[in-house]
A and B are shown apart, each in its own frame.
Chain A
């Protein structure tokens, strides 16, 4: 279970690792650790999935059309309300 890196040390680099910004050497250490340590492998996989799920499901939230209309009105932009939304 413990090679060069223990589970606690993995935690410190975890964010950088899942963001893909960790240096090659540390990356390789993490990969060799999770190959042997099932709990850490699960933590890495489910953490990636957690971030993915939040991003994916949030993308669906759009500003409701009536909220946009009131915003344009409040900003004195009524004459632009009809313009096609650019996303």
Chain B
């Protein structure tokens, strides 16, 4: 998906300040950046700040952009930094690069084994379920959440995720597995109850 954006946009035009090309860039990427901000910060106003600051900083930095990563990955990287800055403002002790205690070494516990895959689609994506999905993702630590968002929601590759976050690919993989399994546990609790209700009801 990202090779296309590299070919699609003329870096030369963007660097020269071509406004039509810039408007095109903004329209292609704004939804993704807004969505990332919204899921990182869970607040529409913060998401809008992330969105605006990401493009303002990108425009400033365009002359220095060397094209080593795709424009898309580069924009995600700026957006992640903007999101983390807002998080740090609220939680000054937050340190993205350090390991979270137990995050990467502890054994992963699996406790939920209800097979809720067979629930009807209407139940899986009901508006109540949607609220639960949003709530569950907010329960993840920021470090795990951002990896899940980039990899599984925005569908960046492991390499692109590692470039966007400036962490190693092995850290991406470890955090991704943790994030996925934690969400699976939470969803299993929620949908498991629905499954029981359906059986007894």
Contacts and interface: CB of A to CB of B under 8 A. Distances in A.
A67 interface: yes
A14 B174 CA distance: 11
A74 B34 CA distance: 15
Given A39-B113, A49-B117, A61-B35, A54 B137 contact: yes
A63 B30 contact: yes
Contacts of B173: 15
B125 A75 contact: no
**Size bracket, chain B contacts:** 35 or more
B24 to A, nearest CB: 7
Contacts, number: 114
A72 B110 contact: no
Interface in A1-51: 11, 14-15, 18, 38-39, 42-43, 45-47, 49-51
B83 to A, nearest CB: 15
A83 B25 CA distance: 13
B20 interface: yes
Interface stretch (B50-58, B66-74, B94-102, B161-169): B50-58
Given A55-B155, A56-B125, A45 B115 contact: yes
Interface string A69-85: 01110111101100101
Contact of A43 (B38, B44, B113): B113
A27 B117 CA distance: 21
Interface string B161-201: 00000000000010011001101100110000000000000
B26 interface: yes
Nearest to A84: B27
A87 B24 CA distance: 10
A74 B56 contact: yes
Contacts of B117: 45-46, 49
B152 interface: yes
A54 B152 contact: yes
5 contacts: A39-B110, A42-B115, A67-B51, A71-B48, A75-B22
Interface of B: 19-20, 22-24, 26-28, 30-31, 34-35, 38-39, 44, 48, 51-52, 55-56, 59, 108, 110, 112-117, 124-125, 130, 133, 137, 148, 152-153, 155, 173, 176-177, 180-181, 183-184, 187-188
Interface of A: 11, 14-15, 18, 38-39, 42-43, 45-47, 49-51, 53-58, 61-63, 67-68, 70-72, 74-77, 79-80, 83, 85-87
